Structure 1
Amino acid sequence: MTNLSEEHYFLQLKSLPINDLQLLLTYSGQSRTGKRHELLERCYSSIKSSKLIRDKLEELYNKRFGQGDLPTMPYPHDSKSALRITPHNVHSHQQPLNIDIHFLPFTFNEEMCVISPPNPIPPVKHVSNESQTLANFYFLLSAQQASDVATSTYFSADQSKIEFQKQILLRFTTIGDIANTGTYVPDKLPPNLYVFVNNKVVALPQPKPTAKPNSDVIRPGRPIDITEYCRLCPLISNLVEISWFTQENSNPLPAYIAAVYLTERKTVPQLLARISRPIAIRPSIETQRSILQTLSAQQTSQGIDDDLEVASTSIRIPLQCPAMRIRMRIPGRATTCKHVHCFDLEGYLRMNEKKPTWLCPVCNKQALYTDLFIDQFFIDIINKCSTNVQAIEYEINGQWKPIEQEKLSRRAQRERETYKADSTSNGKSSMDMDQFNDDDFDDERTFMKSAEHEVSTSIHDNIPIIELDDD
């Protein structure tokens, strides 16, 4: 560097806050501790000896002072090209497999690139009195990858902790599932799995319950987040150690592989924004036509008993989400569902964010994120109805009417009036009644809610689920 460039970089360093100086030191693999002048000296020494550190300094300076985020080089989406660019990013006792693998897309994580290609993970012999041998491999983050992950932290109000928006995921599957090149394969975790990253025990998904004694510990197939265990530095490699075994006498044993991916975490509002695009919203006329066609087919079909014939002239549809038990805000369902009843999409996504089952709460059939859509017909109804309306009754002539909360809790209202009349006839004055109502307000409200719940549950149980024909 010339004297002019040295002075230029030193002025840039002096203008950066301590957080950016510490980030630059992490990027260069040096200690982050010390006073500000000590951090400046270490950073200045690093930029004089490395062009990579100077480029990182320019990036931090531009982000901090008015030039915005500069475009970064895209990650290679091909594992082969990734290996060509960084030929020393993987070290293992067993060579990575030269196979083309595509995991099933994970809804809440969007794949950005392959950090470590598939590595074979053989089983180990389970010996109680001896230490187990661990299959292991190394991976090294590039400078851009380490920077992107380190600068993507945010505070999660739901988890009450700092999390990463860019995440490093460890994924498993069996080689038998990738025999057909080009097809998507599901995540499959080996039985009795233990994972260590940089000598730290990695938290795994909760195992599936079983009543069989001395059986293998089977965990649901999900990607494993190992971001917090990784060293976010391009100069220090990360060690992954894996152990698994099985007590089954199956021969031959399944061959598992493990791969590491860099992904970007997607939030529920971001996923809802994709569903809310006009192309993903079903028009009201389609839902109305489907209901009328189904009702007409039931009314004109042969061999219907009296009860079903009466029910086929109208249908009562609740406006509450069957999963969240609250009034729907974003009503929708999946294209794989054959019913018109909806559920709240925001609540559905939050439930699957914590425990991904992707089962429709109405019909209990598979309802994947890619199959979800918003029903404009129910959006219009919810916007027109007041908060007291808990359901609608849709008739064969295409008209509908709201069913208000007071009508659903009529029995509770009669019980309350009878209760008050009995209390007054027992000689209580109006002043005593007021005092009684104030003291026992909570008990009466609990009683009212219980009675109201009984009536609403009875009505909900009698609501038929209309299934649409395939045509």
Structure 2
Amino acid sequence: MEGIESSGKVNKPVLRVSPAVSNNVKLVWTHDYATYSYFYYAVYLARKRSTRELCEALRRHSFQSASVTKQKIIEKLASTAASTNTTDDADLVIENTLPVQLLCPLSKCRIDLPVRGQNCQHIQCYDANTYLLINERKPAWRCPVCDVPAPFHELLVDGLMLEILADTMAENLEEIIFKEDSSWSPVGKFGSPSNAQHATGATSASWADKNPPFPKLQPPPLSCSTCPPELPTSSQRFFQPSEDA
């Protein structure tokens, strides 16, 4: 552990993690009668929890329903001009559509448990397990998308993104786009969205469905000048009548 950023260093050599050895803390201070300053000390007994336990706790206690995110998308796209001019908005709104990555901005891998801070204004999420592992190593607790503080107790699991990530139609996708009615569409192979709107109940069409393969080209027939001479068959070769007959 490297300690919290912008804080004093942690004196690790004096820490004994063995349960058979006690850790003694000695406090020495000098009272300043001129300023009448008071100091308080506290001792916390803590137990280290695994990232798996923390992710399960987020699923149980910090779940945000899909309807909340849908309403947020509708409001965001209803005021496109205001959204693009807002300094704390990390989403990119283009032509009344909102692109969202299904890859974690930290690990560049597919998101497993989508979370973001409760003070974040964007829709983009990041993977909870990756975020916790990074902050376990070097605690910063700042959103990787908009850089606002995002401590553990303020993380929210996005129910809508969780549904999309579990959908088979988004299994091989890296990016989707949201539309004004909060429906989403997969992004095609060349970055163009398909015609289907999955959230409205229509079947999503893949890029291959929209772009049928080219017909197979048949080789041109050989001309008579290039054709090899026809060889006689075995019957013609051995049973050809003679000219004397």
| Coarse TM-score class (shorter-chain normalised) | 0.5 to 0.7
Output one character per residue of 1:390-423: Cα deviation in whole Å (capped at 9) or x when no partner.
Answer: 101112243321114x435xxxxxxxxxxxxxxx
Residue 53 of structure 2 is aligned with which of 256, 270, 277?
A: 270
The 3-state SS of whatever aligns with 1:337 is coil
Distance 1:361 1:341 in 2: 10
Distance 1:222 1:400, change over 3 A: farther
1:386 Cα deviation (Å)?
A: 4.0
Q: Indicate the residue corresponding to 1:334 in structure 2.
A: 117
d(CA) in 1 for partners of 2:161 and 2:8? 38
Residue from 179, 192, 195 that aligns with 1:395: 179
1:221 and 1:382 mapped to 2: Cα distance?
40
Tell me the equivalent position of 2:8: 219
1:196-220 deviations in Å (ceiling 9; x for gaps): xxxxxxxx846979xxxxxxxx625
Q: Which has a greater percent of helix?
A: 1
CA distance in 1, matches of 2:131, 2:75: 28
Q: Which residue of 2 aligns with 1:407?
A: 190
How much does 1:242 deviate?
7.0
Report if the CA contact (8 A) 2:5-2:140 is conserved: no
Matches of 1:321 and 1:330, distance apart in 2: 10
Shift in alpha-carbon separation, 1:224–1:238, aligned structure 2, 3 A:
closer
Provide the rounded CA distance (Å) in 2 between the counterparts of 1:341 and 1:366: 16
**Higher mean displacement: 323-332 or 387-396:** 387-396
Gaps of 5+ in 1: 1-203, 210-217, 245-250, 304-309, 409-471
Q: 1:376 to 1:261 in 2, by over 3 A?
A: closer
- Structure 2 length normalisation: TM-score? 0.59
Structure 1 residue 382 and structure 2 residue 171: aligned?
no
Larger radius of gyration: 2
Q: CA deviation at 1:387?
A: 3.9
d(CA) in 2 for partners of 1:255, 1:300? 48
For residues 170-249 of structure 1, the aligned pairs below 5 Å read: 205=2, 219=8, 226-228=15-17, 231-232=20-21, 239-240=24-25
1:295 aligns with 2:84: no
Aligned to 1:367: 150
Structure 1 vs Structure 2: percent identity of aligned residues?
25
Q: Is the 8 A contact 2:5 2:139 kept in 1?
A: no
Instruction: Tell which has more relative contact order, 1 or 2 (C-alpha 8 A, sep 6+).
Output: 2
CA distance in structure 2 between the partners assigned to 1:207 and 1:282 by the alignment: 28
Q: Please give the alpha-carbon distance, in whole angstroms, between the structure 2 residues aligned to 1:366 and 1:311.
A: 27
Distance 2:4 2:82 in 1: 51
Query: Partners of 1:353 and 1:224 in 2: how far apart?
Result: 19
- Note if 1:286 corresponds to 2:75: no
- CA, structure 1 residues 381+206, in 2 after alignment: closer, same or farther (shift >3 Å)? closer
Unpaired runs of 5+ residues, structure 2, are: 86-92, 192-245
RMSD after superposition: 3.7
1:324 equivalent to 2:107? Answer yes
Determine the C-alpha separation between the residues in 2 that align with 1:317 and 1:219.
38
Report the Cα distance in structure 2 between the residues aligned to 1:261 and 1:289, rounded to whole angstroms.
41
Query: For residues 223 and 282 of structure 1, what CA distance do their matches in structure 2 show?
Result: 39
- SS of the equivalent of 1:272 reads helix
Question: Match for 2:179: what amino acid?
Answer: E
For residues 170 and 82 of structure 2, what CA distance do their matches in structure 1 show? 35
Distance 1:238 1:343, change over 3 A: closer
**Match of 2:97?**
314
> Deviation at 1:225?
8.7
Q: Counterpart of 1:358?
A: 141
Aligned residues: 177
> Structure 2 CA distance, aligned partners of 1:326 and 1:366?
23
Q: 1:292 to 1:255 in 2, by over 3 A?
A: same
1:261 is displaced (CA, Å) by: 3.8
Deviations 1:428-458 (A, max 9, x none): xxxxxxxxxxxxxxxxxxxxxxxxxxxxxxx
How far apart are the structure 1 equivalents of 2:122 and 2:185? 20
2: CA distance, partners of 1:287 / 1:389: 20
1:380 and 1:239 map into 2 onto residues whose CA distance is: 50
Q: Give the Å deviation of 1:358.
A: 0.6
Distance change in 2, residues 1:350/1:398 (3 Å): same
Distance 1:294 1:265, change over 3 A: same
C-alpha separation between the residues in 2 aligned to 1:354 and 1:289? 36
Tell me: CA distance 1:373–1:223, structure 2 relative to 1, closer, same or farther (3 Å). farther
Counterpart Cα distance in 1 of 2:39 and 2:19: 22
Deviation at 1:365, TM superposition (A): 0.4
Cα offset, 1:373, TM superposition:
1.4
